[in-house]
Structure 1
Amino acid sequence: MPDYFIRFDLRGGDEALMEMQARFACRHRMGLEVGIRSRRDLETLKNFLAGLPRAPEVSIHLRRGKEFDFYFSDDDPGRNRHSIEAAVALLDLLPGTAVIVHDETDPHAGTLSASRLEAYAGACRAIDPHLRRHGKILYVEFSGRLVPRDYIGLMEAVRATGAESVGACVDTGHLYYYFRKKVRQRRGKAVESMSRFIGEVRATGVPVAYHVHDCTPESPHPRSHVSDHRPVGEGEIGLGGFRRIAGYLAGERVTLEILPFPDPGRTVLTDEEVTLLTGYAAAHGTDEGRELRDGRIMKRTLEAMAESRRVLDALIASV
């Protein structure tokens, strides 16, 4: 079965909500993939992990922001060298075993000309020894900024350099959205294209990780305003679509990237969870009712991740 991670939400540094997620991950033997946008987020995460009696495995998802330079496709050698040095310095600070960056993080990578492709591959070759020393893998996530042809070309170029610690992150929602909305394929064709793309990425020979969630392009999330990140089987990809790609997931690194639900539904908190949340509210002067509601939303989201894992395991076992 896959090596599972859950999408970890820092939620403004609310330790009670963060602890709920960490406890869930430990209980279900899963890791945490933490999205950070700033060095302040990084310090919040480090302080939180240091206070845990038992910390799950952690990976870092670098979000778009001005504080983190992972810009590898600038065909100006001087600027690209500076970005490589900044990335290496940042890796010294990051906890965990993996770092995920979007293809859209790099402002020069909209179209990979021959020179920019060479610069990107060269940067990956330069950073690879440092990644190996830290026991990390850098995954470049397909988010749709690059067209599939250019993304595959980048992975082939990285592989050709001999870099062993740079690979691909395949996001099922991003892929489906790309083929459904940007290419305007019908549902079945979009699923077929998604499956074929995953096969092409794997054929390059680079390490591959997966962000797994369902996607309904016409129904954006009410809080985050993106049209995917739904539980497995509850969007247009559906169980049939995930059955098509289940064989690719066996034994791989899979993050269940499901966004918090907009409301808690009928989710009930345990006495232990209530004590955790109300204690945080009392200690920090926050609204107890809001804290409990956010806790119920978080619990409902975590339960959706657990159910998605159960569904994926069943699909993988049936392949």
Structure 2
Amino acid sequence: MLSVHDLELRVGARMLMEDVTFRVERGDKIGLVGRNGAGKTTLTKVLAGEELATGGTIERSGEVGYLPQDPRSGNPEDLARTRILDARGLGQIMLGMEKAAQEMGDSDAKVSAAAMKTYGNLQDRFTALGGYAAEAEAASIASNLSLPDRILDQPLSTLSGGQRRRIELARILFSGAETMLLDEPTNHLDADSVVWLREFLKNFQGGLIVISHDVELVEETVNRVFYLDANRQVIDIYNMSWKNYQRQRAADEERRKKERVNVEKKAGVLQMQAAKFGAKASKAAAAHQMVRRAEKMLSGLDEVRAVDRVAKLRFPEPAPCGRTPLMASNL
């Protein structure tokens, strides 16, 4: 499915992660979490082959379906239905069958005969790929994502951003991809569609990596959690459910806080001893070594503390508005 070894990702001069190794097997359903800017979207793009890693290797076996946050794929003139069906190679075949069916009625016997042969060949391919049962499956997926026939029969160029995104999600779910990478799949979905998607992902048998702010979705679907730690530039892997991950993550953070306190105490002792030794010329070298040891111990904590700080903003009460900003009548 996916095998990642010694992965390194950078954005400009900023290191996102390095020496990251993991595998995604059949049945793995991974929730990808981390602070904003930690590199979740960048990682999924790299795993999908949309962008290149700075270092390391990625091996993919089987088809990978990737849903970006702002999908703009496909020929804008294609019908939405064709875009979905083309995930299994059916869309263009059906268009070819429709064209051949029209030409079969041509008054020119040669054109008609050629069209009949073309239609037969396309129909054989259509049947081999699942035929009308697959078409019904695609229609069912689209319907559950609130994509009725009137939308499916429109060109992609006429659809809104939310509709385009649902079309791409339907395409991936229909594709039969062995591995799915879904970046915020519940965006632009109504409540019923979200519930249906949760059930679909729960029953999905392949590999899944999902980024989502929908807590219920990750609670119900994931069996592994990858936490992107922007401070340490690593991925912490938790082979457990979402709720167990939350408990384990809290315990890990508490342990790290205690370790930080201990390091700061030890560094403080070294700094005090260095200050005492520094007053004596005979012990200046020892004092210098103590200072360097203390600085080394603290260097890894400074970045952590800087990122862990949360800004608290207070805005003044706004002045009364002198004009009516919006008025509606007889809507």
Structure 2-normalised TM-score?
A: 0.29
Larger gyration radius, structure 1 or structure 2: 2
| Larger RCO (alpha carbons 8 Å, 6+ apart) | 2
